């Protein structure tokens, strides 16, 4: 690289910060709506079960804090 060059880095998702099970349950549906995570990730990684039609929270896996 030389002085004045521009570097652009694109990475998949944000990687997050901290334990995903500590994320507020109410915030997870917005992550799904915004395309940051899938419905499957919501349940597997965040412990939040979301209705695929309404995107409303229908439960948790019990591991969610």
At 9 the pLDDT is 82
On the question of pLDDT at 64 being above 70, the answer is no
Residues 65/23, Cβ–Cβ less than 8 Å: no
Say whether 64 sits in a helix, a strand or coil.
Answer: coil
User: What ranges do the domains of the chain cover?
Assistant: 1-65
Q: Which of 40 and 9 is assigned the larger pLDDT?
A: 40
Residues 6+ apart with CB under 8 A from 37: 13, 28, 31, 45, 46
Tokens of 60: 């948790």
Beta bridge partners of 29: none
On the question of pLDDT at 63 being above 90, the answer is no
- Digit-coded pLDDT (tens) for 11-49: 766 667 788 899 999 999 999 999 989 999 999 999 999
């Amino acid at each position: 690289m030389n002085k004045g060059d521009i570097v652009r880095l694109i990475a998949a998702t944000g990687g997050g910060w901290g334990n995903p099970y500590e994320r507020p349950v109410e915030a997870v549906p917005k992550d799904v709506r915004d395309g940051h995570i899938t419905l499957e990730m919501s349940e597997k990684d965040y412990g939040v079960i979301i209705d695929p039609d309404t995107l409303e929270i229908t439960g948790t896996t019990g591991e969610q804090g």
